[in-house]
Amino acid sequence: MTESQSPLLSLDQLSKTYIGRRSLVERLMRVPPTNVQAVNQVSFDIRRGETLGLIGESGCGKSTLGRSILRLHEPSSGKVVYDGQDITGLNPQDMKTMRRRMQIIFQDPYASLNPRRSVVELVGLPLKLHGLAKNDAEVREKVAYIIERVGLKANQMDRYPHQFSGGQRQRIGIARALVSHPEFIVCDEPVSALDVSIQAQIIQLLQELKQEMGLTYLFISHDISVIGYLSDRVAVMYLGDLVELGPVESVLNNPRHPYTQSLMSAAPDVDQPGKRDRVQLTGDLPSPMNPPSGCKFHTRCPVAIDRCKTEVPVIESVGEGHQARCHRLGEQISVLNLSA
């Protein structure tokens, strides 16, 4: 398999800031708005046909990043280059054409399906919006094909979402994302709302579909085992910053950023029930409205030094295709050794 040189998607300093609303009085008194920097100057490439796992704890901006890439939330600055074209400045008409090629699978299979529409209406909507079917009969034919492919029965297509189980609903969501034959899918925690037994089925399905349809995934999750199973490369986010990025083996087995190290040590391991060294981070995720100075992780980092409080670290290469953002990378430091 030869990989084409140009990445399918590349992010250039992508940021998303939510600007807080101020009342009239506050505006007159020139109180500065409380901004939330949800995504802070994230840059990375996604290659054709790969799965990039995006991992981080709740509120770190991973879902916002996924939505900003699709312009569901308008990025505040930076560029999203899709197949050589900067899509951040596209007009609505061109963006609509582009949307056929990039899709999203949502986390909540209950909230993401309109309860008033039947399966054929839900899954057939992209066909109608993009003129991919000539008439209703063709819509039904294509919907029947895709819902059978995702593991539902064609004769279920006139039912409504409330008549399905969570796993089946997620299959409907997958069918809807795939019916227009896109190339790139943002999977926004597609299995975290499901039972563990069903999670495995859905992950298997996503893997099969990727092979068959030549898809590229951005797979967002907080579950390290799911990411480890699916991904070719992994990106780790903390408070809106990309802190580590690299091939899945090297990030999971040899994490370099202290945050990634503690994240990995927190993952349960069936083979080692007694568990190896474990680092427990203290404190909560700081408020993104008022992020810490310097390295945003210094408030919780077990190996932080004075420099971390003042100076923002840059992301640097630590191996082949492996990057991390920490001042102490050169010292080969590991938070795991501290507890020993």
Partner 1 sequence: MTTSFKPLRTGRPKFDPNSIFWRNMQTFANNRLALFCAFVVLLFVFISIFAPWIAPHDPNETDLFRRLQPPAWKDGGTWAHVLGCDALGRDILSRIIYGSRVSIFIGAAVILVATTIGTLAGLAAGYLRGWVDTVISRVVDILLAFPYLIFAIGLMAMMGPGLGNIILALAYKEWVIPCRVVRGETLATREQEYVEAARALGASDRHIMLKEILPNILSPVVVVSTIRMAHVIILEASLSFLGLGVQPPTASWGAMVADGRAFILESWWVSTFPGVAILLLVLAINVASQGLRDAFDPRFQQ
- Enumerate binding residues for partner 1 (CB under 8 A): 67, 70, 72, 95-97, 99-100, 103-104, 106-108, 111-118, 125-126, 129-130, 136-137, 140-141, 144-145, 148-149, 153-155, 158, 160, 162-163, 173, 176, 180
Cα separation values, 16 from 40, 62, 132, 147, Å: 7, 11, 33, 35
Neighbours of 85 (CB within 10 A): 11
CB of 79 or CB of 130, closer to partner 1: 130
CB of 60 or CB of 122, closer to partner 1: 122
Cβ at position 108, least distance to partner 1 in Å: 6
CB of 72 or CB of 312, closer to partner 1: 72
Cβ at position 92, least distance to partner 1 in Å: 8
Query: What secondary structure, in 3-state letters, does 174-221 show?
Result: HHHHHCCCCCEEEEECCCCCCCHHHHHHHHHHHHHHHHHHCCEEEEEE
Cβ at position 199, least distance to partner 1 in Å: 19
Cβ at position 211, least distance to partner 1 in Å: 14
Three-class SS of residue 167?
helix
Distance CA 30, CA 51 (A): 46
CB of 159 or CB of 222, closer to partner 1: 159
Cα separation values, 82 from 196, 203, 298, Å: 34, 25, 34
CB of 51 or CB of 107, closer to partner 1: 107
CB of 153 or CB of 275, closer to partner 1: 153
Where does 15-135 have alpha helices with state H?
A: 24-28, 62-69, 92-99, 119-129
Cβ at position 158, least distance to partner 1 in Å: 5
Cβ at position 146, least distance to partner 1 in Å: 11
Q: Which two three-digit tokens encode residue 8?
A: 């399918």
CB of 193 or CB of 295, closer to partner 1: 193
CB of 97 or CB of 317, closer to partner 1: 97
Distance CA 139, CA 142 (A): 5
For the chain, strand residue ranges (E) read: 9-19, 35-46, 51-55, 77-82, 85-86, 102-105, 184-188, 216-221, 233-238, 241-247, 316-319, 322-324
Three-class SS of residue 160?
coil
> Shortest CA distance to 175 belongs to which of 162, 194, 195, 161?
161
The alpha carbon torsion through 257, 258, 260, 263 (nearest 10 deg) reads 180
Cβ at position 188, least distance to partner 1 in Å: 9
Cβ at position 224, least distance to partner 1 in Å: 25
